[in-house]
Amino acid sequence: MGAGQTRVLTSTFLEEDAASSGRPLAAVLLNWTLPSLAARVWQRATLRICADGGANRLYDELRGPSHASDSVPMPHPHAIIGDLDSIRPEVAAYYRDAGVAITDLSHDQDSTDLQKCVEYAAAHGSRPQHIVAFGAHGGRLDHILSNLGCLYRYRHLNLVLVGEGNITRLVPHDTEMRMGGLLSTSNILEAEEVVVESDSDLIWTVQCKG
Protein backbone atom coordinates (compact mmCIF):
# COMPACT_ATOMS: atom_id res chain seq x y z
CA MET A 1 0.00 0.00 0.00
CA GLY A 2 1.56 3.28 -1.06
CA ALA A 3 1.76 6.53 0.85
CA GLY A 4 -1.45 8.51 0.88
CA GLN A 5 -3.71 5.49 0.52
CA THR A 6 -6.37 4.93 3.13
CA ARG A 7 -6.29 1.89 5.39
CA VAL A 8 -9.18 1.39 7.80
CA LEU A 9 -8.33 -0.09 11.20
CA THR A 10 -11.30 -0.82 13.42
CA SER A 11 -11.95 -2.78 16.59
CA THR A 12 -15.48 -3.83 15.63
CA PHE A 13 -14.26 -7.43 15.29
CA LEU A 14 -14.11 -7.55 19.10
CA GLU A 15 -17.90 -7.24 19.24
CA GLU A 16 -18.74 -9.61 16.37
CA ASP A 17 -19.61 -13.27 16.49
CA ALA A 18 -16.62 -14.58 14.54
CA ALA A 19 -18.40 -17.70 13.28
CA SER A 20 -21.53 -16.00 11.97
CA SER A 21 -19.62 -13.02 10.55
CA GLY A 22 -17.42 -15.27 8.42
CA ARG A 23 -14.32 -13.57 9.83
CA PRO A 24 -12.40 -16.16 11.89
CA LEU A 25 -10.90 -14.88 15.13
CA ALA A 26 -8.48 -16.62 17.47
CA ALA A 27 -8.51 -15.72 21.17
CA VAL A 28 -5.43 -16.36 23.31
CA LEU A 29 -5.46 -16.16 27.11
CA LEU A 30 -2.11 -15.33 28.72
CA ASN A 31 -1.18 -15.86 32.35
CA TRP A 32 -2.21 -12.47 33.68
CA THR A 33 -5.38 -10.85 34.98
CA LEU A 34 -7.95 -11.07 32.22
CA PRO A 35 -9.73 -7.89 31.10
CA SER A 36 -13.51 -7.75 31.28
CA LEU A 37 -13.67 -7.89 27.48
CA ALA A 38 -12.07 -11.35 27.45
CA ALA A 39 -15.21 -13.32 28.31
CA ARG A 40 -17.29 -11.87 25.46
CA VAL A 41 -14.61 -12.34 22.83
CA TRP A 42 -13.74 -15.83 24.12
CA GLN A 43 -17.35 -16.94 23.65
CA ARG A 44 -17.46 -15.65 20.07
CA ALA A 45 -14.01 -16.78 18.89
CA THR A 46 -13.62 -19.53 16.31
CA LEU A 47 -10.35 -20.72 17.88
CA ARG A 48 -9.64 -20.56 21.63
CA ILE A 49 -6.12 -21.11 22.99
CA CYS A 50 -4.70 -20.90 26.50
CA ALA A 51 -1.00 -20.13 26.86
CA ASP A 52 0.18 -22.40 29.68
CA GLY A 53 -0.90 -20.61 32.89
CA GLY A 54 -3.60 -18.82 30.94
CA ALA A 55 -5.60 -22.00 31.57
CA ASN A 56 -5.45 -21.20 35.30
CA ARG A 57 -6.90 -17.78 34.54
CA LEU A 58 -9.71 -19.27 32.49
CA TYR A 59 -10.49 -21.81 35.20
CA ASP A 60 -10.28 -19.35 38.11
CA GLU A 61 -11.71 -16.19 36.58
CA LEU A 62 -14.11 -17.37 33.89
CA ARG A 63 -14.86 -21.06 33.92
CA GLY A 64 -14.17 -22.74 37.28
CA PRO A 65 -16.71 -24.20 39.72
CA SER A 66 -17.41 -20.76 41.19
CA HIS A 67 -18.84 -19.74 37.80
CA ALA A 68 -20.98 -22.83 37.29
CA SER A 69 -24.19 -20.86 37.73
CA ASP A 70 -23.32 -18.15 35.20
CA SER A 71 -26.09 -17.61 32.67
CA VAL A 72 -23.73 -17.98 29.70
CA PRO A 73 -21.43 -21.03 29.83
CA MET A 74 -17.78 -20.36 29.05
CA PRO A 75 -16.47 -22.64 26.29
CA HIS A 76 -13.42 -24.80 26.89
CA PRO A 77 -10.25 -23.95 24.98
CA HIS A 78 -9.50 -25.86 21.82
CA ALA A 79 -5.88 -26.14 22.94
CA ILE A 80 -3.56 -25.41 25.86
CA ILE A 81 0.02 -25.01 24.73
CA GLY A 82 3.35 -23.75 26.04
CA ASP A 83 6.10 -24.77 28.43
CA LEU A 84 3.43 -26.06 30.85
CA ASP A 85 5.47 -24.91 33.85
CA SER A 86 2.67 -22.66 35.13
CA ILE A 87 -0.57 -24.58 34.65
CA ARG A 88 -1.70 -26.17 37.92
CA PRO A 89 -2.06 -29.98 37.97
CA GLU A 90 -5.76 -29.87 38.87
CA VAL A 91 -6.45 -27.40 36.06
CA ALA A 92 -4.58 -29.55 33.56
CA ALA A 93 -6.54 -32.60 34.76
CA TYR A 94 -9.87 -30.73 34.50
CA TYR A 95 -9.33 -29.73 30.88
CA ARG A 96 -7.67 -32.99 29.89
CA ASP A 97 -10.71 -34.87 31.19
CA ALA A 98 -12.87 -32.51 29.12
CA GLY A 99 -11.01 -33.56 25.98
CA VAL A 100 -8.91 -30.42 25.55
CA ALA A 101 -5.62 -30.96 23.71
CA ILE A 102 -2.68 -30.04 25.98
CA THR A 103 0.66 -29.75 24.19
CA ASP A 104 4.01 -29.52 25.97
CA LEU A 105 6.38 -27.36 23.91
CA SER A 106 9.01 -26.95 26.62
CA HIS A 107 11.66 -28.30 24.24
CA ASP A 108 11.39 -25.00 22.33
CA GLN A 109 13.10 -22.40 24.51
CA ASP A 110 13.64 -19.97 21.64
CA SER A 111 10.05 -18.72 21.61
CA THR A 112 7.63 -17.44 24.23
CA ASP A 113 4.27 -18.97 25.04
CA LEU A 114 2.57 -16.15 23.14
CA GLN A 115 4.68 -16.87 20.08
CA LYS A 116 3.81 -20.55 20.32
CA CYS A 117 0.11 -19.69 20.52
CA VAL A 118 0.23 -17.28 17.59
CA GLU A 119 2.01 -19.83 15.41
CA TYR A 120 -0.48 -22.50 16.46
CA ALA A 121 -3.38 -20.21 15.53
CA ALA A 122 -1.86 -19.47 12.13
CA ALA A 123 -1.36 -23.17 11.38
CA HIS A 124 -4.67 -24.66 12.55
CA GLY A 125 -8.04 -24.38 10.90
CA SER A 126 -9.09 -21.36 8.87
CA ARG A 127 -6.47 -18.67 9.15
CA PRO A 128 -7.92 -16.08 11.55
CA GLN A 129 -8.37 -12.52 10.39
CA HIS A 130 -7.33 -11.43 13.88
CA ILE A 131 -5.48 -13.04 16.76
CA VAL A 132 -6.40 -11.38 20.05
CA ALA A 133 -4.17 -11.98 23.08
CA PHE A 134 -5.67 -11.13 26.48
CA GLY A 135 -3.58 -10.32 29.54
CA ALA A 136 -0.77 -9.02 27.34
CA HIS A 137 -0.09 -5.76 29.18
CA GLY A 138 0.70 -7.02 32.67
CA GLY A 139 3.48 -8.77 34.51
CA ARG A 140 7.22 -8.43 34.12
CA LEU A 141 8.61 -5.72 31.88
CA ASP A 142 10.54 -8.23 29.76
CA HIS A 143 7.29 -10.12 29.13
CA ILE A 144 5.50 -6.93 28.11
CA LEU A 145 8.32 -5.92 25.76
CA SER A 146 8.34 -9.41 24.27
CA ASN A 147 4.59 -9.19 23.68
CA LEU A 148 5.05 -5.84 21.93
CA GLY A 149 7.81 -7.39 19.85
CA CYS A 150 5.33 -10.01 18.66
CA LEU A 151 3.36 -7.25 16.96
CA TYR A 152 6.32 -6.72 14.64
CA ARG A 153 7.22 -10.40 14.29
CA TYR A 154 3.66 -11.31 13.29
CA ARG A 155 2.66 -8.13 11.51
CA HIS A 156 1.11 -10.24 8.73
CA LEU A 157 -1.31 -11.93 11.17
CA ASN A 158 -3.20 -8.94 12.61
CA LEU A 159 -2.16 -9.64 16.20
CA VAL A 160 -3.96 -7.51 18.79
CA LEU A 161 -2.88 -7.22 22.45
CA VAL A 162 -5.57 -6.50 25.03
CA GLY A 163 -5.22 -5.54 28.68
CA GLU A 164 -7.71 -4.03 31.10
CA GLY A 165 -8.89 -0.92 29.29
CA ASN A 166 -6.20 -0.95 26.57
CA ILE A 167 -5.92 -2.35 23.07
CA THR A 168 -2.53 -2.38 21.31
CA ARG A 169 -1.88 -3.23 17.68
CA LEU A 170 0.60 -2.47 14.91
CA VAL A 171 -0.27 0.27 12.47
CA PRO A 172 1.44 -0.84 9.22
CA HIS A 173 4.04 1.14 7.31
CA ASP A 174 2.65 3.79 4.95
CA THR A 175 -0.62 4.02 6.83
CA GLU A 176 -1.73 7.64 6.73
CA MET A 177 -3.03 8.97 10.03
CA ARG A 178 -4.22 12.49 10.84
CA MET A 179 -5.35 14.01 14.10
CA GLY A 180 -5.32 17.68 13.16
CA GLY A 181 -3.76 20.34 15.36
CA LEU A 182 -1.46 19.44 18.23
CA LEU A 183 0.15 15.99 18.19
CA SER A 184 0.80 14.63 21.67
CA THR A 185 0.24 11.77 24.06
CA SER A 186 -2.90 11.38 26.15
CA ASN A 187 -5.24 12.60 23.43
CA ILE A 188 -8.94 12.17 24.12
CA LEU A 189 -10.85 10.89 21.10
CA GLU A 190 -14.22 12.59 20.73
CA ALA A 191 -15.06 11.39 17.21
CA GLU A 192 -15.54 7.78 16.13
CA GLU A 193 -12.45 7.85 13.89
CA VAL A 194 -8.89 9.13 14.21
CA VAL A 195 -6.32 9.57 11.44
CA VAL A 196 -2.53 9.73 11.96
CA GLU A 197 0.43 9.65 9.55
CA SER A 198 3.71 7.78 10.11
CA ASP A 199 6.67 6.98 7.83
CA SER A 200 7.34 3.60 9.48
CA ASP A 201 5.53 0.86 11.41
CA LEU A 202 3.90 2.22 14.54
CA ILE A 203 2.55 0.62 17.70
CA TRP A 204 -0.89 2.08 18.39
CA THR A 205 -2.53 1.74 21.78
CA VAL A 206 -5.86 3.11 22.96
CA GLN A 207 -7.74 2.96 26.22
CA CYS A 208 -11.22 1.47 26.12
CA LYS A 209 -14.12 3.07 27.96
CA GLY A 210 -17.07 1.16 29.25
CATH code of the domain in which 42 resides: 3.40.50.10240
Q: What is the pLDDT of residues 77-117, one digit of tens each?
A: 999 999 999 999 999 999 999 999 999 998 988 888 999 99
Q: Is the pLDDT of residue 73 over 70?
A: no
Quickly state the pLDDT bin for 141 (edges 50, 70, 90). confident
Q: Is 6 part of a structural domain of the chain?
A: no
Q: How far apart are CA 128 and CA 26, in angstroms?
A: 6
Query: How high is the pLDDT of residue 74?
Result: 81
The rounded mean pLDDT for the chain is 79
Range of the domain at 153: 13-166
Q: Is the pLDDT of residue 5 over 70?
A: no
**Of 79-83, 133-137, 152-156, highest mean pLDDT:** 79-83
Is the Cβ–Cβ distance between 82 and 57 less than 8 Å?
Answer: no
Is the Cβ–Cβ distance between 151 and 170 less than 8 Å?
Answer: yes
Q: How far apart are CA 106 and CA 85, in angstroms?
A: 8
